[in-house]
A and B are shown apart, each in its own frame.
Chain A
Amino acid sequence: MNNDAEDQKLLNKLSAELERLDAQYDDIPAPSLPAMQQFLAAEADRRRSQSRRELLLFLLAAILLLSIVLTVLGFAPAVYWVIQAVIPLAVLGGLAAVKVRQRREERGQ
Chain B
Amino acid sequence: MDEGTLELIRQAQQGDAPALAGLLREHYNFLFKYLIKATMDPSLAEELAQDTMVRAMEKIGNYNGTSAFSSWLITIATRLYIDRKRRWKRESEWLRRERGAAAIRWRFESRNMEWSDVLDALSRLPLPQRVAVLLKHYYGYSYEEIGSIMEVPSGTVKSRVSKGLQQLRKELKEDE
Contacts and interface: CB of A to CB of B under 8 A. Distances in A.
Interface of A: 6-7, 10-11, 13-15, 17-18, 20-22, 24-25, 28, 30-33, 36-37, 39-41, 43-44, 47, 102, 105, 109
Given A10-B168, A15-B137, A40 B127 contact: no
Contact of B37 (A11, A22, A40, A41): A22
Contacts of A105: 86
A79 B86 CA distance: 39
Contacts of B118: 10, 13-14, 17
Contacts, number: 90
Interface magnitude class on chain B? 35 or more
Nearest to A11: B137
Interface of B: 17-18, 20-22, 24-26, 28-29, 32-33, 36-37, 42, 50, 53-54, 57-58, 86, 104, 107-108, 111, 113, 116, 118-119, 122, 126-128, 133-134, 137-138, 165, 168-169, 172
